[in-house]
Each structure stands twice: as C-alpha cells, then as structure tokens.
Chain A
C-alpha cells in the first residue's frame, strides 16, 4: 500500500517553462488537495477536489491548473513558471471522516 505518491521529488525549472506535478493515491479517497509550503511558512491551499471531474480553487490558485479525471490521480500544472512559484508542493488525500494523508513533497526551484 503506497499511500500518496508524488513525482518528481525535485525539479529545477527555468522562468517561463511549464511542468506537471504528479500525484496519485491508492486508498480510494474522494478528497484530494494540493498545498504549497514556502521556506519557514505554513501550508497554503492551491486547489482541492471532492471527486473525479470536480475541483475548487483554494487560497493561492493563480498560476496553477488542476484536473481530476480519475479517483486516483490529481495532477497540478504550472504554466509559465515564475520565481514566486519556488516552493515545496504537497499533495494529500482523505475520505470524509479521516485525516489527510500526505505525499513526501516536490521541491521546485524556478530560476
């Protein structure tokens, strides 16, 4: 049972490039989340989803897009990367009455 898997673990992007952060879970959870954590800071919610085909914006959605075509996968797309998107990105999943399970994070640097 792998839980929540994020790929890649590390990535360096040049300004203006695009990339997709992958997140998959094998716990059949309906709820999935993307957060970013800047150095020494808390978690800010980017996007979240209650199930396939349904997504909602969180606190800091600008510059990001998501899709949820299956229960298992919730990829996060960065378009036109900017230095302000340098951060650690965490994906999480949960069911209606459980805690959220987190992936190990993707450390992204935009130069």
Chain B
C-alpha cells in the first residue's frame, strides 16, 4: 500500500529565512510526487511535481523540491520565506503503474515578520 508521511505538523520560520517542509513516501514501484498549498477556506493549489528527469524540481512562487530515491523523500524548499507563504502544505504520491493518489496529513507553515 502506498503512503505519504509529513513528519512535522507545524513549521515556523522568520521571514527571509529558508523554509523546508519534509515529505517521505512509500510506493511499490516508481513514484509521481506532488506538492500542493491550501490557504484558509480555499481549495488546493498545485505547486510542483516530480514525474521523471532532474531530481531538483522548480515550481511556482519560488518553491523547489528535491527527489531523493534512496531516502524516499521529496522535501519542499524555499530559500527565503515570505509572510504570504503561511499556509497548509500537502505532499502527495501516485505509483506510476496505478492511479490512486494519496496525500500526507499536511504541514502548517507560519512565517513571522
């Protein structure tokens, strides 16, 4: 069975500091990996994805993520966080040979001014 773990419920950083949100996954085969962001009372917005190719993936709003197959991780990063990055972040995985899409429990990011 596939699964996603986001080990931190909350991440707090100061504006201008680097932001990292952790994600590890488990699938039978090779993964498709995704990051989404959710602002209060809104739907989910897509940030970035790893399908194949370069392990470092760049996405929207200055976010990037690195796929690490040996550690089964796909951590989300931003070099310099903004107060407006405060939101709920979800990691998701799908096995390339299946179509079930599973989400992690989410990490609440708070960026203080």
Chain A interface (Cβ within 8 Å of chain B)? Answer: 30-31, 33, 35, 41-43, 45, 48, 50, 56, 58, 90, 92, 94, 96-97, 99-105
Interchain CA distance A104-B106 in the complex, whole Å: 18
Question: Could you list 29 examples of A-B contacts with CB < 8 Å?
Answer: A31-B99, A31-B101, A33-B101, A35-B103, A41-B106, A42-B103, A42-B104, A43-B103, A43-B106, A45-B100, A45-B101, A45-B102, A45-B103, A48-B99, A48-B101, A58-B100, A90-B43, A90-B44, A92-B101, A94-B101, A96-B99, A99-B34, A99-B46, A100-B34, A100-B101, A101-B46, A102-B44, A104-B42, A104-B43
Q: How many residues of B contact A (CB 8 A)?
A: 19
| Residues of chain A with a CB closer than 8 A to B92's CB | 100
Query: Chain A's interface: helix, strand, loop or mixed, by majority?
Result: strand
Q: B32: which A residues are within 8 A, CB to CB? A: 97
B43 partner residues in chain A, CB cutoff 8 A: 90, 102-105
> What B residues does A104 contact at CB under 8 A?
42-43
Q: Check if A42 sits within 8 Å of B105, measured CB to CB.
A: yes
Return A46 CB to nearest CB of chain B, in Å: 12
